[in-house]
A and B are shown apart, each in its own frame.
Chain A
Amino acid sequence: MLIVGELINASRKAIGEAISIQDAEAVKKVAIDQYEAGANFIDVNAGIFVGKESEYLQWLVTTVQEVVDAPCCLDSPDPAAIQAALSVHKGTAMINSISMEKARYDALIPVIAGTDLKVIALCMSDEGMPETAEQRLKIADRLINGLVQNNMKIDNIYVDPLVQPVATNKTFGIEFLKAVEAISTEFKGVHTMCGLSNISYGLPNRKFINQAFAVMAIAKGLDGLIINPLDKRIMANLITAEMLSGRDDYCSNYLRAYRSEKFEF
């Protein structure tokens, strides 16, 4: 399971403020906390700063990598911002994200083609947001083919089938889950991942919904998540769900988590 720590996101008030006053210490602390809690990648997002996104995203990468020895997940719809961030990034970054929207696709492909970067392939196209598993699969197929033709390794592709709020349509949970299963089965070696907060939008007790959804998705084959790794309950759920899905040899991750007191909350 690949875990991307989601907390350094400008749409969170504390982070937005830290970025705008260039408070490096505040950003560093959140980076260290997430890394120590088990994040493999640190997501960086400066998506509320129109016109300054490139500069700020670059600053975030530098700041984060001064204190943690982990790659970043560069979270931006803007290829220019991604390129700016890549120019200072150490190690192999993850790009969040490419999609089948033509403008976004055409602009990002030259940046990532032939590289060893990991890339999140978001199931969205110019025809709109997919609602059914079938629509998601069609977009995933085009994305995966496009990426492979541009010399991206299968193992570096993380398809995000696109989570939408179940509060707006009761089928949005199940269609996503079906898509995860279909993508995992039909495109061997390709990963699937997603963020969780969209699923619970517009409903109370969001954390509870997010956890249940994550567990269900893991059972279908999901092997990457963009989450808050400081939330011990979600982390415990992930570890347990992976074990129950047959992906934990000799239950060793589960036992390691137990012994390091990850299940105490």
Chain B
Amino acid sequence: MTNEEILNTIIEGVKEGDEDKVFEWTNKAIATGIEPLVVINDGLTKGIQAVGTLFGNGTYFLPDLLLGAKAMDAGIKVIEPLMVDQKRDYVGRVLMGTVEGDLHEIGKNIVIMMLKTAGFEVLDLGVDVPAKKFIEKAREFKPDIIGISALLTTTVGRQKEIIELLEEEGLKGKVKVMIGGAPINQNWANTIGADGYAEDASVAVDVAKRLLA
């Protein structure tokens, strides 16, 4: 079997959401002598990108996306211990969280998954995240983009607070801000000075790429 065939089988495994297949063929790829980084870039990543595309165009549904991500992880777990000095190539870094007082996470998590399928490195702060924590983590993680989710009319004001705090802390301009959530629209993004807004997870990927271009 050629290296290309092995990598294609890994891609297929991720697309099919088949953890066992991905695990088996990632191990085979390594045993055959394919570079770990190549397995990630030309196998696992391509697989999850295909999953993301299929989800974006309505062929795949949420459980397919979850399965694809799980299958990819099965491969990543094999590879990561082998990559001592090498770093994965990411398109960009995103820090993500839902604002304080708001416990909604499903939309945010789908956006995170879609960003990952598109090659972003994402740090998820979870839900009910105070503004201060966004700033603190932004200093540590040094993201290119901060994504802020809020789902309630009573909590969207927190997005504004976080942007103001970024400004006070001298981080505005150094990091782009994307916002999302049911009550959010472009108008609100303009009002509070957010750099980007997306109405769903597929658009979020496009917006994130545009912000980094």
Contact = CB atoms under 8 A, between A and B. Distances in A.
Contacts of B66: 167-168
A124 interface: yes
Nearest to B62: A202
Contacts of A203: 61-63
Contacts of A201: 62, 106
Contacts of A43: none
B106 A128 contact: no
Interface in B5-30: none
A50 B62 contact: no
Contacts, number: 58
Given A53-B153, A168-B106, A48 B62 contact: no
A202 B127 CA distance: 20
B149 to A, nearest CB: 14
B109 to A, nearest CB: 8
A204 interface: yes
A78 B101 CA distance: 12
Contact of B106 (A76, A124, A165): A165
A103 B157 CA distance: 15
- Chain B CB count within 10 A is highest, among A50, A203, A204, for A50
B102 to A, nearest CB: 9
Interface string B100-122: 01010110011000000000000
Given A48-B185, A201-B106, A168 B156 contact: no
B53 to A, nearest CB: 17
B150 to A, nearest CB: 10
Interface in A106-132: 124, 126, 128-129
- Chain B CB count within 10 A is highest, among A48, A49, A126, A164, for A48
Interface string B49-72: 000000000000111001000000
Nearest to A11: B182
Contacts of A202: 61-63, 110
A77 interface: yes
A49 B127 contact: no
Given A77-B152, A78-B153, A124-B103, A48 B63 contact: no
A78 B154 contact: yes
Contacts of B63: 167, 202-203
A81 B62 contact: no
A81 B153 contact: yes
Contacts of B101: 101, 103
A94 to B, nearest CB: 19
A167 B127 contact: no
A18 to B, nearest CB: 16
A168 B103 contact: no
A167 B62 contact: yes
Interface string A124-152: 10101100000000000000000000000
Contacts of A126: 128
B153 A77 contact: yes
Interface in A53-78: 53, 76-78
A47 interface: yes
Interface string A179-204: 00000000000000000000001111
Interface in B129-158: 152-157
A107 to B, nearest CB: 9
Contact of A50 (B61, B106, B127, B157): B157
Given A78-B154, A165-B106, A48 B61 contact: no
B25 to A, nearest CB: 27
Interface string B32-49: 000000000000000000
Given A78-B154, A202-B61, A202-B62, A47 B182 contact: yes
Interface of B: 61-63, 66, 101, 103, 105-106, 109-110, 127-128, 152-157, 182-183, 185, 188
17 contacts: A47-B183, A48-B182, A48-B183, A48-B185, A49-B153, A49-B183, A50-B157, A77-B152, A77-B154, A78-B153, A101-B101, A128-B128, A129-B105, A165-B62, A201-B106, A202-B63, A204-B61
Interface of A: 11, 47-50, 53, 76-78, 81, 101, 103-104, 124, 126, 128-129, 164-165, 167-168, 201-204
3 tightest Cβ-Cβ pairs between the two chains A and B: A202-B62, A167-B62, A77-B152
